[in-house]
Amino acid sequence: ENIKYIQTEITINTRDTIQLKQDIFKEIDRLPFRFKSVIKAQFLVESSHFTSALVVENKNLFGIRLPKNRTTLAIGENLNHAVYKTYEDSVMDRLLYDALYMKDLSEEQYYSYLDRVYARAGNNYSKMLKSVILSNSL
């Protein structure tokens, strides 16, 4: 009986995660991101499919640090990263970041920027994003 209860809880949590992923994808599609597949891949990578502490504790879907010199929707800082009131605020803040720093870049320049500035993984970051895009049909 206890095992059955645990399995039910896992199923509910998995279902919730799948729905949340779909909701985040819809929000990304709704907003004027230029390279939506890249943003979706970043979301999957940075959130570790909703398992990262940044997602659980900070509602931070993109690994964004608390900005010092730009408008942000972050409400604080935890784990050296921005904290958001909602997941939607995290997506909107990523859009603000794009609008400020990346609005005029071609797709290859966009990837190059992410390699240089956004991630610490260097050129491997864009390769990882491209792989996630292919494997998830984004």
pLDDT tens, 59-106? 999 999 999 999 999 999 999 999 999 999 999 999 999 999 999 999
* In the predicted structure, residue 123 carries a pLDDT above the cut 80: no
Confidence of residue 14 (pLDDT cuts 50, 70, 90): low
Confidence of residue 1 (pLDDT cuts 50, 70, 90): very low
Chain-centre distance for alpha carbon 117: 16
* In the predicted structure, residue 2 carries a pLDDT above the cut 50: no
**Cα(43)–Cα(118) distance, rounded to whole angstroms?**
13
Average pLDDT, the chain: 87
Among the listed residues 84, 87, 68, 64, the one whose alpha carbon sits nearest the alpha carbon of residue 76:
84
pTM: 0.84
Q: Which residue has the higher pLDDT, 127 or 6?
A: 127
Confidence of residue 127 (pLDDT cuts 50, 70, 90): very high
